[in-house]
Amino acid sequence: MQTSPGTSLYPNLLSPLKVGRTTLRNRMIMGSMHTRLDMEENGLAKMAVFLAERARGEIALIITGGYAPNAAGLIEPGGPILTEHAQALELRRITEAVHRYDGKICLQILHSGRYARQEECLGPTDIRSRINRFAPRAMTSAEIEQTISDYVRCALLAREAGFDGVEIMGSEGYLINEFTVLRTNDRSDEWGGSAENRHRLPVELTARVGAAAGQDFIIIYRISAIDLVEGGATGDEIVSLARKVETAGADILNTGIGWHEARVPTIAYPVPRGAWRFAAARLKRAVGIPVVASNRINTPDLAEEILATGDSDLVSMARPMLADPLFAKKVREGNAGKINVCIACNQACLDLIFSNRSATCLVNPRACRETEFDEGPAAKPRKVAIVGAGAGGLAAAAEASRRGHRVTLFEAADCIGGQLNLARAVPGKAEFDEMLRYFSGQIEDGGVDVKLNASPTMGDLSHGGFEAVVIASGVHPRVPAIAGIDHSKVVFYNDLLSGKKRAGHKVAIVGAGGIGFDVAEYLCHSQPGEGPKVRGQDISAFQSEWNIDASLTLAGGLTGDPLGPRKSPREITMLQRKATRPGLGLGVSTGWILRSSLAKRDVKIVAGVTYQRIDDNGLHILVDGVPRVIEADTIVICAGQVSNRGLFDELRAAGIEAHVIGGAKQASELDAMRAVEEGVRIAQAL
Ligand code: NAP
Ligand code: SF4
């Protein structure tokens, strides 16, 4: 057999694995994701295109989002369910699309238990979860038996639909996980009490589904490898359950990390890469079947290292498959450096899902909307100028050059990246550097002519022979009208995060939006007088920050309250004029992490203020009409942005084809997600 160029660098990642009678072509799995795509009109057709693209990208095995085995198990009304023959026939569309590209696909069976966002939700007992307004009703023994039968029916229907197997979702705090731990199971019948009884449901499910589905059907059990909630399982209990499901017939043991109600981040950018491999490694040592490591594995180098050290046999990557459908193919072809890496921002995937929209990806707006974008070249190559090499300009330049346009990219600074260059100072956000690396490679491959330290004038653009101009010149920080704004204590956020200026011990932050919170987080993790450093990949610091017990001796894998107080190197006060709760605009899946981190460090947040002046004593404000002075050594201004778009208006007035994107178009919602999408869409339209 011919060796692929990537094999010498990634021998473990690219080696096939036999599972039962099926052979997986490599060790990369696309983990289960609820994208909401299947809830759209023509959802299954779109899903088929989405999954086919990942199979074409050579992922070995795809696990679908969760399908409920019965109505009570639905995550929400209208969610994915598999209970009927007709549904199985429809799902054939998906399995055939994946098999066309030699991929394997398993259907995840998910009973949401007490997380179901519906009136009639069920659980082992009636203990309500703090993240669901609906309280569960305790299941009767007959309902438990019926649920097992429903899982079997679901697996048989999955088989009929052409799936290669099923994943029994036993983690993240859903029904099965709820049965396994004392936190949510205080039953006194054969389904509760001793660990033996609490483990009965997953063991019965695995055995009965396996027996019904037959030998040539893959059974994956997704175990909660660490619960991260008080009253969760100990490491010994988890190992004991793993061994039981292995004996019951599971072919693969996938790992889930943390319950949805855990107060520990598990996948967002503050979690270091590979932070949870220890949990998979414990199970790998305990069982003989292949074990999958999951969560925060986003590069082939890390994945290869996890396999090479024997921590797992397979790696699961869910969001990285949104970011780059061709991930595995690029690894095999020796093009790993061209992978569009998931930066764990959650902005366009989880945060959209939580606001009832379909997922996509900040770094790859095509994700889940494959049918809306044209992969081919432009009908007529044109000479295009793009002004500004921030997120939007880079995305536009990459896509326009890919389509065959001749692109000149002007950037006023001495490097590309714009505001992306500020992100790396914020703990965990150095992941944004991956975006810069990827787009730099794309524009290089596309032959884009990059002109740094260049601010083209109207004359340069109109005489340069450009047939279209894209203005992506971004923003500049707003200067609020506060008396004393020129005082030496005042520092603008961009100067602080870029390292041009330093902050002292007592800091006031004017503005409590996304950037205000990021600045506060940066200040909480740097000493007064110290400049920016890349932080956030230190696993032991992460464990100690969130009280994680990596030995799993203690229940739930926690050494104490994850939100307990921490020392801060500074006294920080954040301020905003609105009386509303600060941080409302933060991402749903990441905002709570930032808020918790700042609260642990006693950062004060004052809303409803009127700014009066800045002087040697600090920042003078009124709160409810009462004067106050925030004694501060440094006052950091994070008061939003103003667009740089003068050139666009001039070009339009002169009758030149001009487009404006990103912050230059709308500063009030300056946002990398919108900028990248607008960049790609405008390049598609050129
Ligand atoms: P932002 O979220 O709109 O916040 C601007 C802040 O400045 C607000 O607190 C606003 O509150 C205050 N402000 C506005 N005009 C002011 C004025 N004239 N004087 C004093 N204060 C003023 O903008 P941002 O913080 O610059 O963030 C930009 C964008 O990036 C946002 O869309 C944000 O969501 C996104 N972002 C998100 C994150 C994250 O989620 N972690 C991180 C970075 C950036 P008052 O008007 O009430 O005073
Ligand atoms: Fe990853 Fe962010 Fe894309 Fe989600 S939106 S897949 S977290 S890069």
Give yes or no for residue 1 having a pLDDT over 60.
no
Distance (Å, whole) CA 424 – CA 535? 8
pLDDT digits 0-9 by tens, 546-577: 999 999 999 999 999 999 999 999 999 999 99
Is residue 195 very low, low, confident or very high in pLDDT (cuts 50, 70, 90)?
very high
Q: What kind and span of H or E run contains 129?
A: none
pLDDT score recorded for residue 67:
97
Distance (Å, whole) CA 378 – CA 407? 13
Residue nearest to atom 36 of ligand 1 (CA): 514
What atom in ligand 2 is closest to the CA of residue 319? 6
Task: Quote the strand ranges of 361-472, DSSP E.
Answer: 383-387, 406-410, 449-451, 468-471
pLDDT score recorded for residue 2:
63
Going by C-alpha positions, the residue among 325, 407, 399, 307 that lies closest to residue 361 is 325
Q: Is 118 exposed, middle or buried (0-12, 13-18, 19+ CB in 10 A)?
A: middle
Beta strands at 165-170 and 104-109: parallel, antiparallel or unpaired: parallel
Question: Does residue 363's CB lie within 6 angstroms of at least one atom of ligand 2?
Answer: yes
Overall average pLDDT of the 581-602 stretch: 94
Mean pLDDT of the chain: 95
pLDDT digits 0-9 by tens, 622-670: 999 999 999 999 999 999 999 988 889 889 888 899 999 999 998 876 6
Distance (Å, whole) CA 256 – CA 60? 19
Question: Does residue 638's CB lie within 6 angstroms of at least one atom of ligand 1?
Answer: yes
Percent of the chain at pLDDT above 90? 90
Question: Does residue 517's CB lie within 6 angstroms of at least one atom of ligand 1?
Answer: yes
Overall average pLDDT of the 256-277 stretch: 97
Question: Does residue 349's CB lie within 6 angstroms of at least one atom of ligand 2?
Answer: yes
- Please tell me the distance between residue 571's alpha carbon and the centre of ligand 2 in angstroms: 33
pLDDT score recorded for residue 530:
83
Give yes or no for residue 486 having a pLDDT over 70.
yes
Distance (Å, whole) CA 353 – CA 38? 12
- Please tell me the distance between residue 606's alpha carbon and the centre of ligand 1 in angstroms: 15
Identify whether the C-beta of residue 81 lies closer than 8 Å to the C-beta of residue 74: yes
Three-class secondary structure of residue 186 per DSSP = coil
What atom in ligand 1 is closest to the CA of residue 582? 9
pLDDT score recorded for residue 537:
81
Contacts of 270 (CB under 8 A, 6+ apart): 427, 428, 536, 542, 590, 593, 597
Phi, psi of 623 (to 5 degrees): -125, 120
* Nearest ligand (C-alpha, residue 610): 1
Beta strands at 618-623 and 609-615: parallel, antiparallel or unpaired: antiparallel
Identify whether the C-beta of residue 509 lies closer than 8 Å to the C-beta of residue 572: yes
Give yes or no for residue 535 having a pLDDT over 80.
no
Is residue 452 very low, low, confident or very high in pLDDT (cuts 50, 70, 90)?
very high
Is residue 520 very low, low, confident or very high in pLDDT (cuts 50, 70, 90)?
very high
DSSP character for 414?
Answer: S
A 10 A CB-CB count for 404 gives: 15
Contacts of 668 (CB under 8 A, 6+ apart): 640, 641
The yes-or-no answer on residue 174 being catalytic is: yes
pLDDT score recorded for residue 669:
65
The two structure tokens encoding residue 190:
């054969």
Range from 29-38, 171-180, 435-444, 642-651 carrying the lowest mean pLDDT: 642-651
Range from 76-90, 371-385, 657-671 carrying the lowest mean pLDDT: 657-671
- Please tell me the distance between residue 320's alpha carbon and the centre of ligand 2 in angstroms: 7
Query: CA–CA distance from 281 to each of 14, 239, 590, 654 (Å)?
Result: 20, 11, 27, 64
Distance (Å, whole) CA 646 – CA 664? 9
> Which of 10, 115, 174, 493 is an active site residue?
174
Identify whether the C-beta of residue 246 lies closer than 8 Å to the C-beta of residue 238: no
Give yes or no for residue 286 having a pLDDT over 90.
yes
User: Per this entry, what is the length of the chain?
Assistant: 686
A 10 A CB-CB count for 157 gives: 23
- Please tell me the distance between residue 639's alpha carbon and the centre of ligand 1 in angstroms: 6
* Nearest ligand (C-alpha, residue 429): 1
pLDDT score recorded for residue 462:
86
Distance (Å, whole) CA 144 – CA 125? 12
Three-class secondary structure of residue 669 per DSSP = coil
pLDDT score recorded for residue 230:
96
* Nearest ligand (C-alpha, residue 363): 2
Residue nearest to atom 6 of ligand 2 (CA): 319
Phi, psi of 458 (to 5 degrees): -55, -40
- Please tell me the distance between residue 494's alpha carbon and the centre of ligand 1 in angstroms: 13
Give yes or no for residue 150 having a pLDDT over 90.
yes
Give yes or no for residue 16 having a pLDDT over 60.
yes
Range from 64-68, 337-341, 528-532 carrying the lowest mean pLDDT: 528-532
* Nearest ligand (C-alpha, residue 608): 1
Distance (Å, whole) CA 660 – CA 47? 32
pTM of the predicted model, to two decimals? 0.95
Pocket test for ligand 1, best of 670, 673, 674, 676 (most atoms within 8 A of CB): 670
- Please tell me the distance between residue 625's alpha carbon and the centre of ligand 1 in angstroms: 23
Give yes or no for residue 57 having a pLDDT over 60.
yes
Question: Does residue 619's CB lie within 6 angstroms of at least one atom of ligand 1?
Answer: no
Distance (Å, whole) CA 351 – CA 360? 10
Beta strands at 383-387 and 468-471: parallel, antiparallel or unpaired: parallel
Give yes or no for residue 463 having a pLDDT over 90.
no
CA angle 321, 327, 332 (to 5 degrees): 150
Identify whether the C-beta of residue 29 lies closer than 8 Å to the C-beta of residue 61: yes
Distance (Å, whole) CA 575 – CA 242? 50
Question: Does residue 671's CB lie within 6 angstroms of at least one atom of ligand 1?
Answer: yes
pLDDT digits 0-9 by tens, 103-115: 999 999 999 999 9
- Please tell me the distance between residue 521's alpha carbon and the centre of ligand 1 in angstroms: 15
Beta strands at 618-623 and 626-630: parallel, antiparallel or unpaired: antiparallel
